[in-house]
Amino acid sequence: MKNLSIVVFMLLFIMLGFVSVQAQSVEQQIMDHLFNAELAQADSLIDIGIKQNPNQPKYYFMKAHFNFYMRYFTQRQFDRDSILQVIIDNGEKAVSFEDDIEETIENKFWLGSAYGLLSRAYVMKGELWDGYWAALDCEDYLEDVLDEDPNYGDAYIG
């Protein structure tokens, strides 16, 4: 009986662990794949998100974010200017929905994050004024997020 109860508890523990892994959001899965250098999986999830939600800024931000870090996790050599242009194109696509989407805390976070990434890319290309204005927009959106929810930890990073 004692062995049976140990086996039951072990099975429950394993099942709960499996359920918690499955409960990860798509965004968390993308980031996990990206930072574990599983680029094909991350890119695939991002592309699925774009196809399912073509007017959602978060997936275009994630595509830009993916391209920003892709150069570190791949053996292929990419031209710096072409990668920066791809990042800017996806970042600008993300912020192009600014007037069309509902002003939720999540949307503000993704827009602010997209502007932050755009700012870095603009500065890296030497477009300092564009970088400055994008940084101001980033700050405005992320401060709005923190005003609404000071516990929204990811907004501090931006």
User: Are 69 and 102 spatial neighbours (Cβ–Cβ below 8 Å)?
Assistant: no
Most confident range, picked from 18-22, 61-65, 125-129, 153-157: 125-129
- C-alpha to C-alpha distance for 75 and 41, rounded to whole angstroms: 17
Residue 2 has a pLDDT of 57
2 burial type by CB count under 10 A (0-12 exposed, 13-18 middle, 19+ buried): exposed
Q: What is the mean pLDDT of residues 145-154?
A: 91
pLDDT per residue as tens digits for the range 66-78: 888 777 766 667 7
> How many CB atoms lie under 10 A from the CB of residue 129?
8
Length of the chain: 158
> In this model, does residue 92 exceed pLDDT 70?
yes
CA-nearest of 118, 120, 95 to 107 is: 95
Residue 60 has a pLDDT of 93
Most confident range, picked from 1-10, 18-27, 67-76, 119-128: 119-128
9 burial type by CB count under 10 A (0-12 exposed, 13-18 middle, 19+ buried): exposed
User: In the numeric block, which tokens belong to residue 54?
Assistant: 């073509």
> In this model, does residue 90 exceed pLDDT 90?
yes
Buried b (16+ CB within 10 A) or exposed e, 95-126: bebbeeeeeeeebbbbbbbbbbbbbbbbebbe
57-73 helix and 80-95 helix, angle to the nearest 10 degrees = 160
What is the value of pTM for the model shown?
0.79
What residues contact 67, with CB distance under 8 A and at least 6 apart? 83, 86, 87, 90
